Amino acid sequence: MAYIIPECPTFKTRGEEKLFNALKANLDDLWTVYYEPVINGKYPDFILFHEYYGILILEVKDYTTQTILEIRKDYWKIYSQGKEVSIKNPFSQAIEYRNELINLLSKHKELVEQAGNFQGKLKFPVAVGCVFVDLTASDIINLCIDQVIPLGQLFCMEDLEDSHVFNEKINGIMEKLFTINSLSREEAHIVKQVIYPVIKVNYSGQVDRSCKEEQQTGKEEKERKEILNVQLISFEHYVDEFYYVVDRVHHLCQTGAARNITIAYPLNRFLRRGTVKEFISDLLKSRGLLAKRGLTLKLFELEQLSDYCRSTDYLFIVDINSIRSTAVYERQLRPIIEGKIYNGPIMLTANKPSWLTKKLKNRLAQR
């Protein structure tokens, strides 16, 4: 589930609440969803941020077929509270919010390309979309809304009801601009501070500029408990990571080194095409490994692993950079790599640096 800020918002319209519930149900916890953040004096309905994709600003409307009276590129006429009123095209509203946010983000040199063809531009896309929670896809066409708002940047009622369709549509909007590998932790922190500034003050009244998570990580890095039979390999992109893992599975099978192999992932998050599980399954299938005689392959979410890993010859835990909290690490990963649940060989893989990859590298170096 996405991380929501603020945690318990009070909505102005039923449409905002409906979209909020859809975002909670459909987005994984690598997304941060902001409801009505203040962007240079303006209040966009929702801003979505993902360090692998960028930013998506959503303007939501709960118009019905009876509400909309006239549609133009700049202004619309709608029926509201018993009278006819003129409003700005929702897409134009979203673009205004986008421009304000880009101006704020561009003040931070860490977020801006310093050389090359895109010098001076942000390192990540800032896209916009419009959500009509009470209009179907056919309503959109019949009302000619697609003639004033690009169809690829429109969400309708059906889109909110299907998690896969919803995520694919978001991916399509982001990829239309450009794709990124990911932002660093520091860059992501700056983006979050621009959208929703948080200033911590300690009891003495001084601004506390330390990060609670970093403090906790530092404390844990003092631990010296030995980790046996564990490797950690980092990659620059999840495609390289998953191809490597599947190649290793094939090698283990060919050499007879393992006949019962498990691949686990912390979160079955959506990628640019499909989910983590779907991507890895397709790769295994293309290599003929899912139907390989004498080979047992299992794919699980990490939280399910403790029930099945005892019979495994070789364990892969992929995409570990998607573990964002120490609580998840302590509960799900740490007992496994410290041999409390499983004593066989373990390969951990990641596709970007994170607090956890740094922590594990330090611990493995101490062996």
DSSP string, 146-215: GGTS-GGGEE-HHHHH-HHHHHHHHHHHHHHH---S---HHHHHHHHHHHS---EE-TTS-EE-S-HHHH
Supply the pLDDT for residue 205: 52
The answer to whether the pTM exceeds 0.75 is no
Please report, as a single letter, which amino acid is at residue 20.
F
Encoding tokens for residue 72? 């133009």
Supply the pLDDT for residue 217: 42
Encoding tokens for residue 325? 């909290």
155 Cβ contact partners less than 8 Å away, ≥ 6 residues apart? 58, 129, 130, 131, 132, 166, 169
Please report, as a single letter, which amino acid is at residue 68.
I
| Burial of 289 (C-beta count, 10 Å sphere; 0-12/13-18/19+) | middle
Q: Is 130 helix (H, G, I), strand (E, B) or coil?
A: strand
* Alpha carbons 281 and 54: distance in angstroms, whole number: 27
Supply the pLDDT for residue 304: 86
Residue pair 270/28 in contact by the 8 Å Cβ criterion: yes
Residue pair 342/336 in contact by the 8 Å Cβ criterion: yes
Phi/psi of residue 233, nearest 5 degrees: -125, 130
Neighbours of 125 (CB within 10 A): 18
Supply the pLDDT for residue 224: 39
Supply the pLDDT for residue 170: 87
Please report, as a single letter, which amino acid is at residue 367.
R
122 Cβ contact partners less than 8 Å away, ≥ 6 residues apart? 102, 105, 106, 111, 112, 113
* Alpha carbons 30 and 110: distance in angstroms, whole number: 21
Per-residue pLDDT of the chain in tens (367 residues, 90 and over written 9): 788 888 888 898 999 999 999 998 888 878 899 999 999 889 999 999 998 889 999 999 999 999 999 999 999 999 988 889 999 999 999 999 999 999 999 999 999 988 888 888 999 999 999 999 999 999 999 999 999 999 999 999 999 988 888 888 888 888 777 767 678 888 989 999 999 987 666 555 555 544 444 444 444 444 434 455 899 999 888 888 999 999 999 888 888 888 899 999 998 888 877 889 999 999 999 989 988 888 899 998 998 887 767 788 999 999 999 998 888 899 889 988 888 888 889 999 999 888 899 888 887 776 5
Supply the pLDDT for residue 227: 54
